Chains A and B, each alone.
Chain A
């Protein structure tokens, strides 16, 4: 079945460091790909998404490119801030059978940014 694998956490970085969180997927067909973020004490919210191959999603300085050839959607940010400390979830949304849009999530990666 469809699945998402993302790098294990926790990840601890210093402020202004470069961030990469790896995400790979297995899916039938052509899924849409998402990064959701969960800040401490808050609900899940969309960070960015890409709906077809080679699309780049971006938001708040974060970027991820939909790579069909490597089935990947790695999250990157050039210079992290303390306020980026959160849990990040990679997810895919595939159309199969009677299902539409059900999200399949990775396990999440906890990021802590130190001043």
Chain B
């Protein structure tokens, strides 16, 4: 079956602009996660959805970052007033039920470059 997909694969924007990154999880997976990966580092957790609700948004770095999952499937990560430090690969993952032992399946990522 289809895996996790993310669009766009690359996004170049100017400092101060608004961007939206989209994630389409594996069908039937109730848990959805966003991570951010900087060069040479492991992914860092941003936000976790269980169904439509954000169960944990403790990883969002500040209030410029926001994410939604209105119908419990597709999710959008929104970044306002982008800064150069926001440049990274943004990864989305989904798992069947969000249990600690569940495997998370990752998408290919969106590479965001803020000029």
Residues of A within 8 A of B (CB): 4, 31-32, 34, 36, 42-46, 49, 51, 89, 91, 93-95, 97-108
| Across-interface contacts of A51 in B (CB, < 8 A) | 100-101
A104 touches B103 (CB 8 A): no
3 nearest A-B pairs in the assembled complex, by CB-CB distance: A105-B42, A44-B106, A51-B101
Distance in angstroms between the alpha carbons of A103 and B99 in the assembled complex: 11
B95 touches A44 (CB 8 A): no
The answer, yes or no, to whether B51 is at the interface (CB within 8 Å) is no
- Closest CB-CB distance, B112 to chain A, in whole Å? 16
The answer, yes or no, to whether B48 is at the interface (CB within 8 Å) is yes
Distance in angstroms between the alpha carbons of A98 and B45 in the assembled complex: 14
| Across-interface contacts of A49 in B (CB, < 8 A) | 101, 103
Query: Count the A-B residue pairs with Cβ separation under 8 angstroms: how many?
Result: 79
Query: What residue of chain B has the Cβ atom nearest to residue A51's Cβ?
Result: B101
Q: Number of residues in B with C-beta < 8 Å to the partner?
A: 30
The answer, yes or no, to whether B98 is at the interface (CB within 8 Å) is yes
B33 touches A105 (CB 8 A): no
Known: A102-B45, A105-B43. A45 touches B101 (CB 8 A): no
B106 touches A43 (CB 8 A): yes
Can you list 17 pairs linking A and B with CB atoms under 8 Å apart? A36-B106, A42-B108, A43-B91, A43-B107, A43-B108, A46-B103, A46-B105, A93-B100, A95-B100, A99-B55, A99-B56, A101-B31, A101-B33, A101-B98, A102-B45, A108-B41, A108-B42
- Closest CB-CB distance, A92 to chain B, in whole Å? 9
The answer, yes or no, to whether B109 is at the interface (CB within 8 Å) is yes
Distance in angstroms between the alpha carbons of A45 and B106 in the assembled complex: 7
Distance in angstroms between the alpha carbons of A91 and B35 in the assembled complex: 13
B104 touches A100 (CB 8 A): no
